[in-house]
Amino acid sequence: MDPLSDVRQKIEQRLESFAAELLAYTGEQLPDAQPMVAQMVALTLRGGKRIRGQLLAAAAEACAPWTTVETAGIEVGAALEWLQSYLLLHDDWMDDDSLRRGAPTAHVALGERYGNARTGATLAILAGDLACALAQQTVMQAAAPVDRVGAMGAVFAEIQRDVVLGQTLDVLGSEDVDRMRQLKTGSYTVRGPLALGHALANGTAAALVVLRAFGEPIGLAFQLRDDVLGVVGDHVRTGKHARSDLNPARRNAVVMAALATMDDRRRADFDRLCRSTDDASVADAQAIVAESGAVHTVETRIAHACAQAIDALKDGSLRPSGVALLERLAHAICERVS
Amino acid sequence: MDPLSDVRQKIEQRLESFAAELLAYTGEQLPDAQPMVAQMVALTLRGGKRIRGQLLAAAAEACAPWTTVETAGIEVGAALEWLQSYLLLHDDWMDDDSLRRGAPTAHVALGERYGNARTGATLAILAGDLACALAQQTVMQAAAPVDRVGAMGAVFAEIQRDVVLGQTLDVLGSEDVDRMRQLKTGSYTVRGPLALGHALANGTAAALVVLRAFGEPIGLAFQLRDDVLGVVGDHVRTGKHARSDLNPARRNAVVMAALATMDDRRRADFDRLCRSTDDASVADAQAIVAESGAVHTVETRIAHACAQAIDALKDGSLRPSGVALLERLAHAICERVS
């Protein structure tokens, strides 16, 4: 079997078995908490590509044979999915998003279930807090030598701190968009998983330098691809509303590039369409973006970042089998359609 | 110097130096995030007794000489304070409390600063998330043998999971009040710190059994003392409004005991007074509770739990110097006035 598909499938199985145990426990011991736990679990299982775990596995294989660390690696890959659920649950409430991974967001679903939006918000925050604790617990229980578990735990906490600081800059509309993106998305999507794979496989200092040089542009490309998909992607595939990305306050890179091409009048038209919630206005706003050439501008940046990342791998510090997997993932991240 | 005062003072110093570093970093690198970070830091530094770190130190001393693990123990004691800030920041928003440790709660202060309650709520949740990450990071970087750091990391994650599940039961008004309290308060106030001290000092299995038998009643007594102080305490000392504890939805043990003594008419009077926000009504409600004898009922339960905890220490598995410290802390927890 293809090694990356194998990783994806094993993480999926791990998440499913853990979810079943957790739901059995809360169903029996804490039935009142069950709907909250069920929302958190369902969001996690709707996840999909498990790209972070694949990056972790590729980085580990670049430092030592994956098979020697696989059991713990799958655990930590699963932990990254709990971490992501934590961040999504909090972000979705903060951004007031209603759709995530093709289903209502947790604060909306729980608000409806209890007939009270405030209770929904409270339980969504708690669902995130629970996912955060599970992520930590999963890392700390991973079957690896204790020094590596400790190193992974430290990386994990650092990821978490960076994401929270990045989200703070985001909600406050900080001017420092690059810094915000690097902290918010780069850390837990690319930089963190690579550092975890390196720590798990006890890689050399030189290997970490190369993994960072690879991770920086790939983190950027991941975000830019998200931005392209958010504006012109198939919303059935992305599982999000296009309208939320069109909002200029979100500072989607495609929208920013499009705004830069507009005169004041067109910008006013665009703003009006973005504030509207009907599907026709969303389609019109998308058309304006499409005509502006902004997608092309951003696609060029993605292609450049991808080439830069792959180039960084060629320094000889990493094992060739790992380099091959990292290259594949670079293309998969830069060229994905959902 | 008295060993427990020494622990308290060293934790205080550690928190202060870490806070200064953090504020210097965000002030320079992420100035937009500074007000949120400053709220989180100020709440932590307003903390006071550092009772959790003292419990950790006493449990460690009961397993091995504290001086051999002190450096790491102070770090983990500081981590428990970041953890508490995390939980308070989220809880205060969930409970819509306006006062904490004698100052406005973070969501209120930040809402005023940005002129928007929603922004205040978002930043308070992020402040909690940041404190959570710092707690994890502090544990993972503690200067102890790696196997002990790993064991402490696992305990820490378990504490976090239990508290979140307990808070979920609380916000949903679960009937299972004992379970809720045991998960929500017991875990991070008493059981968790004792388990961390045990893990840090690499204690025996027998020692852990005794520490648990001590911790269970002390956790209950801590909560009951909180309940007494919440209703009849000096709110300048407790730093909270008495009115929030009088609300029957909070299920304060004193209020529950008082309600059990009332007939329907008196109960209706009491409910009306509790829903009112003026100081005279709060004083009248407090007077009704005082007359009911409920405080005496709860005080008897506290004295019983304290005696039970101290009795559990006498089995010979713990070092006498540690037992002496644990006894002192049991009295301090059961008899505190703030």
Asked, colleague to colleague, whether B1-203 and B204-338 share their fold, the answer is yes
The angle subtended at Cα B46 by Cα B43 and Cα B50, nearest 5°, is 105
Q: Is-contact B122 A107, C-beta < 8 A?
A: no
- Residues in A whose CB is inside 8 Å of some CB of B read 26, 29-30, 32-33, 36, 90, 93-94, 119, 122-123, 125-126, 129-130, 132-134, 136-137, 139-141, 146-147, 149-150, 153-154, 156-158, 160-161, 164-165, 167-169, 171-172, 174, 176, 179
Task: Return the closest-CA partner of residue A305 out of A226, A199, A204, A192.
Answer: A226
For A332, other C-beta atoms within 10 Å of its C-beta total 14
A157 contacts on B by Cβ (under 8 Å): 133-134, 136-137, 140
Q: Name the band, by pLDDT with cuts 50, 70 and 90, for residue B235.
A: low
Q: Name the band, by pLDDT with cuts 50, 70 and 90, for residue B296.
A: very high
Amino acid identity at B35: P
Q: Can you read off the two tokens belonging to residue A270? A: 């665009």
* Whole-number pLDDT of residue A290: 84
Name the strand (E) or helix (H) holding A30.
none
pLDDT at B238 > cutoff 70: no
Ranges of beta strands (E only) in B98-252 are 99-100, 103-104
Report the C-alpha gap between A182 and A261 in whole angstroms. 25
B90 contacts on A by Cβ (under 8 Å): 125-126, 129
**B90/A125 touch (CB, cutoff 8 Å), yes or no:** yes
- Tens-digit pLDDT profile for residues A182-238: 898 888 899 999 999 999 999 999 999 999 999 999 999 999 998 999 887 766 666
Amino acid identity at B126: L
With the C-alpha atoms ordered B140, B141, B142, B148, is the resulting torsion angle positive or negative? positive
A132 contacts on B by Cβ (under 8 Å): 129, 132, 160
Report the C-alpha gap between B273 and A20 in whole angstroms. 46
Averaged pLDDT for residues B74-91: 96
Q: How large is the ipTM?
A: 0.90
Q: Is-contact A193 A59, C-beta < 8 A?
A: yes
| Strand B103-104 with A99-100, pairing | unpaired
- Under the phi-then-psi rule, with left for phi > 0, alpha for psi from -120 to 50, and beta for the rest, what region is B99? beta
* Whole-number pLDDT of residue A250: 79
Q: Is-contact A161 B164, C-beta < 8 A?
A: no
B202 contacts on A by Cβ (under 8 Å): none
Diameter of chain A by CA atoms? Answer: 62
Min CA distance, A237 vs chain B (Å)?
A: 29
**A130/B165 touch (CB, cutoff 8 Å), yes or no:** yes
Q: Is-contact A150 B149, C-beta < 8 A?
A: yes
Mutate to test the interface with A, among B136, B155, B162, B169 (most CBs of A within 10 A): B136
Report the C-alpha gap between B271 and B273 in whole angstroms. 6
Percentage of residues in chain A having pLDDT higher than 70: 97
Q: Is-contact A82 A131, C-beta < 8 A?
A: yes
Phi, psi of B100 (to 5 degrees): -150, 130
Domain B204-338 class, CATH top level: mainly alpha
Beta bridge partners, A100, equal A103
pLDDT at B189 > cutoff 70: yes
**Does the A205-338 domain belong in CATH 1.10.600.10?**
yes
- Tens-digit pLDDT profile for residues B101-121: 889 999 999 999 999 999 999
Q: Name the band, by pLDDT with cuts 50, 70 and 90, for residue A46.
A: very high
Report the C-alpha gap between B91 and A122 in whole angstroms. 9
Q: Is-contact B174 A35, C-beta < 8 A?
A: no
* Whole-number pLDDT of residue B153: 93
The angle subtended at Cα B167 by Cα B166 and Cα B168, nearest 5°, is 90
Count of all residues that appear for chain B in the document: 338
Domain ranges across chain B: 1-203, 204-338
* DSSP tag of A184: I
Q: Can you read off the two tokens belonging to residue B294? A: 């409920």
Q: Which of B94, B130, B171 lies nearest to residue A165, judging by beta carbons? A: B130
Min CA distance, A179 vs chain B (Å)?
A: 9
- Residues in B whose CB is inside 8 Å of some CB of A read 26, 29-30, 32-33, 36, 90, 93-94, 119, 122-123, 125-126, 129-130, 132-134, 136-137, 139-141, 146-147, 149-150, 153-154, 156-158, 160-161, 164-165, 167-169, 171-172, 174, 176, 179
In order of B228, B233, B298, B303, the CA distances from B258 in angstroms are 12, 16, 10, 19
For tokens 């875990």, name the residue.
B187
pLDDT at B140 > cutoff 70: yes
Name the strand (E) or helix (H) holding A103.
strand A103-104
How many beta-carbon pairs under 8 angstroms link A with B?
152
- Tens-digit pLDDT profile for residues A111-146: 999 999 999 999 999 999 999 999 999 999 898 988
Task: Return the closest-CA partner of residue A40 out of A104, A93, A101, A89.
Answer: A89
**Does the A1-203 domain belong in CATH 1.10.600.10?**
yes
Q: Can you read off the two tokens belonging to residue A66? A: 């994956």
